[in-house]
A and B are shown apart, each in its own frame.
Chain A
Amino acid sequence: MSTTFLPCGDYHQNYAQEHAWWQTKFIKGKMILLFLFLFVFIPVTANSYWISVCNMVGYTILGALGVQLLIGYCGQLTLGHGAFIAVGAYASTLLILEFPWPQFMLDWGIAYPVSVIIAGFVAGIWSVLFGLPSARVKGFYLILTTMAAQFITVDFLLTQYVSQIGGRGQAFSLPLGTIKIGPWVIDSDLKVYYLMLILVIFFCIVMANLIRSRVGRAWVAIRDNDISAEVMGINVVKYKLLAFFVAGFIAGITGAFWISNLAAISPEHFPWFLSLSLVGVILIGGVSSIHGTIFGAIFMVVVMELLQLAVMPMADTYPKLLMDFLFIKEAAFGLAICLFIMFEPNGIAYRWQQIKNYFNLWPFSY
């Protein structure tokens, strides 16, 4: 992209070169190192605790990508994204557990991958349903309608009706070995980690390319000014609903992915706080930035884990700390958002850009 800092003597003779993602040897080298780090270094060195932390980061990234799309790129405020993750998770679980799959499909491990894709579509359509009001309302009102999505879906439909399917009571249990892709049985944190990496990389690529396509430009136009976007000939309602669909689709996949990490799912996995924290992730990471989504997710998960590690030793002296840890966590989350809005309103991604500029402009300041 044109925002890349190109060294002297690196120029484009056609637009394909200009649009290439990794344009310089330096960037290519950097990316290879990153992949080595993710695929080799972490699995080899990290223990299962840190692997599970990484899985949490990946789950947060996937969840926040949809929020980033809606808020960061299309300007549609949402506070109910957790609902669509829940829809994806439940759709996939129900399909695996209740759908009369032919035996060979179960044996060959086709059921889960198919259910993931269907879950994506179901969540996408569910999201469009709650995106419909966006044709008329904006801002706070839209926040309320998306919050309604959360409460109607999770607290009402899932809890009251869907959970009753099959008469299992509140939770659907997913015994080890249920989740498999082909012959690959996903039964350990490390396997979940690899699945997560593949999904995160895939959706980051999809998002990054969507954003610079015609669709992405339409979304950005709607975000910046919906009236001028309409004047420019963009079908605002269509593109808003498309944004809701894509965001919902990613959320559905996210939910369907997450069941691979769970032994059982219940509506408590998808509280309203999840929706809220995903918005927090993009605020901290940086709105309108895919980098920001990743940075925000890492910050949220890792900082909270570190906080937990810091609190643990003190628990011997102040046992109350452990009891109230959930509240401390939420307070810390609130504090982090306040501090970011005050001191780094453009998020970590902006700081990252500044650091890169610092070295790109070396030995000058501009």
Chain B
Amino acid sequence: MQQGHKTGESNTIQGMEISKALTIPKLFLEQAGKFGKDSIAMREKEFGIWRPITWHDYLENVKFLALGLISIGLKDHDKVCMIGTNRPEGLWAEMATMCARGIGVWLFQECLIEEVKYIVDHSDARFIFCESQEEVDKAISIINECPKLEKIIWDDPKGMRHYQEDCLISFKEVQRLGKELNQKHPHLFEETIFKGHGDETALLLYTSGTTALPKGALLSHYNMLTMGQNLMAVDPCLETDDYVSYLPFAWIGEQMMVISCGLQIGFTLNFPESSETSQANIREIGPHVMFAPPRMYEQMTRTVQVKYLDSTWIKRKCYELAAKIGYHMANLKFKKKPIPFQWRFLQALAYLMVQKKLKDHLGLSRVRNAYTGGAAMGPDHFRFFHAMGVNLKQIYGQTEIGGISVIHRSGDIKFDTVGVSIPKTEVKITDEGEIISKSPSVFQGYYKNPEATEKTLIDGWLYSGDRGFIDDDGHLVVFDRSKDVMILKDGKPFAPQYLETRLKFSPYVKDSWAIGDKQDYLTTVICIDYSVVGKWADEKKLNYTSYPELSQKPEVYDLVEKQIRQANKDLPEPARVRKFINLYKELDADDDELTRTRKLRRAFVAKRYDQIIEALYSDADVVHIETTISYEDGRKSDIKVDLHIRKIVD
């Protein structure tokens, strides 16, 4: 039920030359002029329907907002922070900032006050866009400690009636000021945009920082645009495509899809009703392109596995049969073998019987290209999606290179690699085994951090800090972060994330953490999935009241042991897990254990849980933990638990 007619050639970007003079706002102006009132730029789900916003509306809103920012005093290259969920207003704010020649800085919505303070202060932002009362409260509480912050622009009026602070100004008010300015200087908006140059900074994105404080990567207009062009040279997007924007704008992957690709092609962005409904909303839209970190795909896999277990006998058998056919087909595809006729027939059967509906449930019916990146994804998950007939591809890249540098090509997918570099991008391995890359999208440097820039950017080459190698087919294999690579007892290097992602294929395991550098054997710390294991325990009639209690049940240990044994089967002897422990809580970004993009911060957790590591490598059967945990609402409670250690003997 799509409306709006997007006509014309499928992929204009192929022929377009991205010169240094082009900026994102210039492109935006051109695209908005081209698509105008006939074509839908974005939709937002509100009150049960997908409210369409045309390119014309998009342009008008951005124009007045940009002029409004100028009239409240935005100067060239000023930083403007933005915090909130994915909604059209957030994107307008970002685009308006760039149009007014400012630099956009996105924050993760769930950032704690200290993180907000650090980024706002470090980025020298003068304005901050806050979506609703919650974000406004965060901003107000830090405004005295961030002297450079002048105005807080809020959007959602709910709960804002009694806020009297002078620093507050509403989104609508800024737009009204913009309209006034527009009447006085009707061409100011266009003039401001045409002053821009491609080498100017467009965005300042803070990297998640698995090791230290976040670093702000400066990306120019040229970086962003060339990145999108080079990605789409591999997998062209179409104007008629739908894309669902629900991952944080502060993540480079979302910027890459929405700004770098979306703007160039002009596909329709869809914003979900709220973050809780995003999965259902994705299903409604049925996007053609998807880019998500592995955890989203892991979540989908887990949903399917759990629902499969709860299904009736006939449905389960059909599913099993279709999965068997799908896996066989996926294996043939990975090995690039010709597919025999009878298997084609069986595949068609499996598609009709199960896969079609399965994809429909997950919202993957129309997906042409699904990408995963930002962290490692296990081979099991990868095979799972290919067995379903979803063209899932691995992407490798960093914020510092505009998002991506290496990607799988359709028909040339190997689940243990991340693919081949995109056009105009060179990837090499240094003598130390570090992955380095060079492309027009390599960033300008870290903001106010020349030492880090010097270490990362040498002669135009970006040093990733990841260890890897290039295999016989020219595919890049990313091993792990250099400092995370373990040395096993036989002297071989081992990537802990490989083991961790394999364990995560079990629906019962939410997170895992592999330990064992230079030790005699490997151990893991497991975080069970509370809802899945909880449901399992309900069915087994096991009593439990809390996560810590459930995690320490001997039956749950048995369950996890079974999953680990399964994973052990495919591992070489020195890399097998010999001991494990169920953690009494889930790892959480609010406790600094994970980054905001849910990557494990190994050094931090190793320090925090040193007692556990110590116990795992001693003869102890139980480790006693006394600690304080803080809840999301700020409450703190003391926890005293005895964690059991389970040995796995072959």
Contact = CB atoms under 8 A, between A and B. Distances in A.
A14 B52 CA distance: 9
B308 A6 contact: no
Interface stretch (B358-366, B536-544, B604-612): B358-366
Contacts of A9: 242, 284-286, 365-366
B357 interface: yes
Given A11-B284, A12-B1, A363 B48 contact: no
A10 interface: yes
B51 A364 contact: no
B363 A11 contact: no
Interface string B325-364: 0000000000000000000000000000010011111011
B512 to A, nearest CB: 26
Contacts of A7: 360, 365
Interface string B241-280: 0100000000000000000000000000000000000000
Contacts of A357: none
Nearest to B285: A11
A11 B283 CA distance: 9
B315 interface: yes
A366 B359 CA distance: 15
B1 A365 contact: no
Contact of A8 (B49, B310, B318, B363): B363
B45 to A, nearest CB: 8
B1 A13 contact: yes
A13 B307 contact: no
A268 interface: no
B50 interface: yes
A363 B363 contact: no
Contacts of A363: 308, 311, 315-316, 318-319, 322, 354, 357-358
A364 B361 contact: yes
B365 A8 contact: yes
A68 B366 CA distance: 42
Q: What band does the interface of chain B fall in when counting residues whose beta carbon is under 8 Å from A?
A: 20 to 34
Contacts of A161: none
A362 interface: yes
A10 B1 CA distance: 6
Contacts of B3: 13
A361 B318 CA distance: 13
A17 interface: yes
Nearest to B366: A9
Contacts of A364: 307-308, 310-311, 315, 361
Interface string B525-559: 00000000000000000000000000000000000
Contacts of A13: 1, 3, 43, 49-52
Contact of B307 (A6, A11, A18, A365): A365
B540 to A, nearest CB: 19
A362 B284 contact: no
B312 interface: yes
Interface string B99-126: 0000000000000000000000000000
A11 B1 contact: yes
A15 B307 contact: no
A259 to B, nearest CB: 46
A362 B357 CA distance: 7
Nearest to B286: A9
For A7, A11, A18, A363, the residue with the greatest tally of chain B CB atoms inside 10 Å of its CB is A363
Contacts of B48: 2, 12, 15, 18
Interface string A1-27: 010001111111111011000000000
A15 B319 contact: no
B315 A365 contact: yes
Contacts of B284: 6, 8-11
B497 to A, nearest CB: 30
Contact of B49 (A14, A361, A365): A14
Interface in A343-366: 361-366
A8 B1 contact: no
A18 B49 contact: yes
A12 B286 contact: no
Contacts of B364: 8
B307 A8 contact: no
Contacts of B285: 9, 11
A150 to B, nearest CB: 45
Contacts of B308: 363-364
Contacts of B354: 362-363
Given A365-B310, A366-B307, A12 B366 contact: no
A12 B49 contact: yes
A18 B47 CA distance: 12
Contacts of A361: 361
Contacts of B49: 12-15, 17-18
A305 B66 CA distance: 76
Contacts of A6: 284
Contacts of B366: 8-9
A212 to B, nearest CB: 15
Contacts of B361: 8, 361, 364
A366 B310 contact: yes
Contacts of B43: 13
B51 A8 contact: no
Nearest to A23: B1
Nearest to B363: A8
A12 B310 contact: no
A11 B52 CA distance: 12
B4 to A, nearest CB: 9
Nearest to B358: A363
Contacts of B360: 7-8
A354 to B, nearest CB: 12
A13 to B, nearest CB: 5
A363 B364 CA distance: 15
Interface in A18-40: 18
Nearest to B52: A13
A63 B365 CA distance: 44
Contacts of A17: 1, 49
B359 A8 contact: yes
B432 to A, nearest CB: 47
A15 B52 CA distance: 12
Nearest to A365: B311
Nearest to A17: B1
Interface in B294-321: 307-308, 310-312, 315-316, 318-319
* 4 closest A-B pairs by CB: A9-B286, A364-B307, A8-B286, A8-B365
9 contacts: A10-B284, A10-B286, A12-B50, A13-B1, A17-B1, A18-B48, A363-B322, A363-B358, A365-B307
Interface of B: 1, 3, 43, 48-52, 242, 283-286, 307-308, 310-312, 315-316, 318-319, 322, 354, 357-361, 363-366
Given A9-B284, A13-B50, 15 more contacts: A7-B365, A8-B286, A8-B363, A8-B364, A11-B1, A11-B50, A11-B284, A12-B49, A12-B50, A15-B48, A15-B49, A18-B49, A362-B318, A363-B318, A363-B319
